[in-house]
Amino acid sequence: GSMESTTTRKTTAVKWVNNVPTYLGTLGGDASTGLYISGDGTVIVGAANTATVTNGNQESHAYMYKDNQMKDLGTLGGANSSATGVSSDGSVIVGQAQTADKSVHAFQYYNGEMKDLGTLGGTSSTAKTVSPDGKVIMGRSQIADGSWHAFMCHTDFSSNNVLFDLDNTYKTLRENGRQLNSIFNLQNMMLQRASDHEFTEFGRSNIVLGAGLYVNALQNLPSNLAAQYFGIAYKIRPEYRLGVFLDHNFSSHVPNNFNVSHNRLWMGAFIGWQDSDALGSSVKVSFGYGKQKATITREQLENTEAGSGESHFEGVAAQIEGRYGKSLGGHVRVQPFLGLQFVHITRKEYTENGVQFPVHYDPIDYSTGVVYLGIGSHIALVDSLHVGTRMGMEQNFAAHTDRFSGSIASIGNFVFEKLDVTHTRAFAEMRVNYELPYLQSLNLILRVNQQPLQGVMGFSSDLRYALGF
């Protein structure tokens, strides 16, 4: 610190040991101040006046006080400088100094040499602190428009160092978290399709095979996924049936910094009591599961790094639905339904690679119970052409979402807000079934459903062929 000298009546740097002050002196001028001390207590840094007078004022220079001696660290060509931080062992000192053109730049002092750290594109910069191990420097710098941003950089021991903009890095991390909403919604739609798969066109052997294509798209295009699937169902008894499905995602358009792998299969299965379009009561239990690998690259703004890492998205859904079909006469019937669903989606933790300051991202989960209800209808336009509709509402309960969080090496942790969940949502669906000869059928399913993350609308189209045996 500093205190007024009893002899000169000037403010002078001082160190305290066992409540006893020792004046550190100056660099030949009238005053000095102590600003930081190393972790081992051997080095004190600050600023002290020299005997040199410029424009009527004594120059003030950064100093290092060690072994009872004050050493002038100099400047970057200008009149003044100040040391504001030092590593634990006293080997690395940081601060700011005037350059020859009278701007102020952050500096690093190591092994007897002061180095100019530059700026983020603006005129001035200041180094505020250095990590205890002396490897990372943090401070503030003007950018090209003159505003001030925080920066971080590695200590330059052998090559030119680079200042990284912490403000812009913060923006890229926030954008990364925002883009997760699209990916989680697409995962939710994939789970919904895997849970909704069902065949009813059984032949004499009580078996039906089917294959199809579907596309899930979000309101905020170009977020969409396309998949092909194959399934088989078997009628155990006249009133019981079960089926399994494999879905393969073969195309995706997701936010630019997400590269989703297409080499994993999604799975779905169901068991039902009574046909889904039967009169009276019917029940269906189903589940879906999927896991996708994704390479995630951080968006790059000016003076930031495009860190990249590999993660996995994993989702599971289980669902039970009860229906009651009632004829309205002729070829029309209605079918109220009530269901309960559990959904869990997670993005696994991962760490970026190939960058100077890798970011570690904590795992993030979305899980919820969903109760839904609505009413369906079934109309036989002609013997071979049937149209069905479903519409209703769904409500989350016992929902859990994590905060988007992680850490930056040598800097510390960050935590953003939780995923933005819409708990009450509407959905509607239309099914067109065209029956072909020999127990064949074509089905077109169109579905619109408000998605849980940010409440954006999701659109799904499914074209399926089935053959009974």
pLDDT digits (tens, 9 = 90+) for 6-41: 666 678 999 988 888 888 999 999 999 999 999 999
Whether pLDDT at 404 is above 90 = yes
pLDDT in tens, 270-317: 999 987 667 899 999 999 999 999 999 999 999 999 999 999 999 999
Ordered by where they begin, the domains of the chain are 2-162 (2.120.10.30), 173-468 (2.40.128.130)
Mean pLDDT, range 119-133, rounded to an integer: 96
Contact present, 128 and 136 (Cβ < 8 Å): no
> Rounded distance, CA 302 to CA 208, Å?
57
pLDDT score of 219 more than 90: no
Could you tell me how far CA 425 lies from the centroid of its own chain? Answer: 24
Instruction: For Cα atoms 206, 208, 212, give the angle at the middle one, nearest 5 degrees.
Output: 170
User: What's the pLDDT band for 370 if we cut at 50, 70, 90?
Assistant: very high
Alpha-carbon distances of 314 from 157, 275, 290, 291, 383, rounded to whole Å: 43, 31, 6, 4, 42
Best CA proximity match to 11, nearest among 46, 53, 36: 46
pLDDT for res 161: 75
State the alpha helices, DSSP H only, in 134-207: 166-196
Q: Is the pLDDT of residue 411 over 90?
A: no
Q: Which amino acid is at 263?
A: N
392: number of Cβ within 10 Å: 18
Please list the residues that pair with 408 across neighbouring strands: 359, 412
Q: At residue 244, does pLDDT exceed 90?
A: yes
Neighbours of 382 (CB within 10 A): 9
Residue 402: pLDDT over 90: yes
pLDDT at 203 over 90: no
Burial string for 223-234 (b: 16+ CB within 10 Å, else e) reads bbbbbebebebb
Share above pLDDT 70 across residues of the chain, in percent, rounded to a whole number: 97
Gyration radius of the chain over CA positions: 34
Asked if residue 62 lies in contact with residue 86, where contact means CB atoms within 8 angstroms, the answer is no
Closest CA to 252 of 229, 235, 272, 227: 227
